[in-house]
Chains A and B, each alone.
Chain A
Amino acid sequence: GAVVSQHPSRVICKSGTSVKIECRSLDFQATTMFWYRQFPKQSLMLMATSNEGSKATYEQGVEKDKFLINHASLTLSTLTVTSAHPEDSSFYICSASLQGRRADTQYFGPGTRLTVL
């Protein structure tokens, strides 16, 4: 299957700092990428949809000024958690959409574990 990478895989930061997470599609171009968040023992929750060259679309309840998304190219999207607080500690996962012959399929990155102290 298609490969999506994330960097870093794990990050620990102090409260009040900003953290940037990168998501790359390695062997295909993705016009659409998605960002999810997963708290312990819970399912994935979609945060936002990122389209190359345009503003991201955020899900209800997700603060766009706190979670900045930039989709600068067809292979790179970034999520910046601004002024992080302990409640932002979570597992952040991106996915990229690959258009196929029959239907679209999303491929996920390995995730980034964010811990805010």
Chain B
Amino acid sequence: DAKTTQPPSMDCAEGRAANLPCNHSTISGNEYVYWYRQIHSQGPQYIIHGLKNNETNEMASLIITEDRKSSTLILPHATLRDTAVYYCIVREEDTGFQKLVFGTGTRLLVSP
């Protein structure tokens, strides 16, 4: 799986948009970009994933650059409950074992 690079931490004011970047410059053509988050002492929560088109769901938006070497997860109106570690992961569509390899992620702190 390709390696991802994320900033170790970010701050965001409550109600503002949180934009979390991820670099994946060695991503290959059949690899998806996945985003998960982990709130303290809980299991990771799936947020969103995409291949090359921008994606949006009820939780967030995923913007993938045209060359696919980087992406941004956008939480449009961050709340205190969005404080968590956010993981950006790239993975092949179907490897048989479908592993997710977690990096160190970005610790997002949303403040009042």
A contact residues vs B (CB 8 Å cutoff) = 1, 4, 6, 32, 34, 36, 43-46, 49, 57, 91, 93, 95, 97, 102-111, 113
CB atoms of A46 and B99 under 8 A apart: yes
Chain B: which residue is nearest A98 at the CB level?
A: B46
CB atoms of A106 and B100 under 8 A apart: yes
Supply 18 A–B pairs (Cβ within 8 Å), ascending by A.
A1-B46, A4-B43, A32-B97, A43-B87, A43-B102, A43-B103, A43-B105, A44-B44, A45-B102, A57-B97, A91-B41, A95-B44, A102-B51, A103-B94, A105-B46, A108-B36, A108-B46, A109-B43
CA–CA, A34 and B100, complex, Å:
9
The residues of A that contact B38 with a CB separation of less than 8 Å are 44
CB atoms of A106 and B46 under 8 A apart: yes
The residues of A that contact B51 with a CB separation of less than 8 Å are 102-103
With A103-B49, A103-B93, A105-B49 in contact, is A46–B101 under 8 Å at CB?
yes
Q: Which of B86-112 contact A (CB under 8 A)?
A: 87, 93-94, 97-105
The residues of B that contact A46 with a CB separation of less than 8 Å are 99-101
Q: How large is the interface on B (under 10, 10 to 19, 20 to 34, 35 or more residues)?
A: 20 to 34
CA–CA, A36 and B99, complex, Å:
11
The residues of A that contact B87 with a CB separation of less than 8 Å are 43
Chain B: minimal CB distance from A7 (Å): 13
With A43-B104, A46-B99, A106-B98 in contact, is A93–B49 under 8 Å at CB?
no
Chain B: minimal CB distance from A109 (Å): 5
CA–CA, A104 and B98, complex, Å:
8
Chain A: which residue is nearest B48 at the CB level?
A: A105
With A93-B43, A108-B45 in contact, is A103–B32 under 8 Å at CB?
yes
Chain A: minimal CB distance from B21 (Å): 18
Chain B: minimal CB distance from A48 (Å): 10
The residues of B that contact A32 with a CB separation of less than 8 Å are 97-98
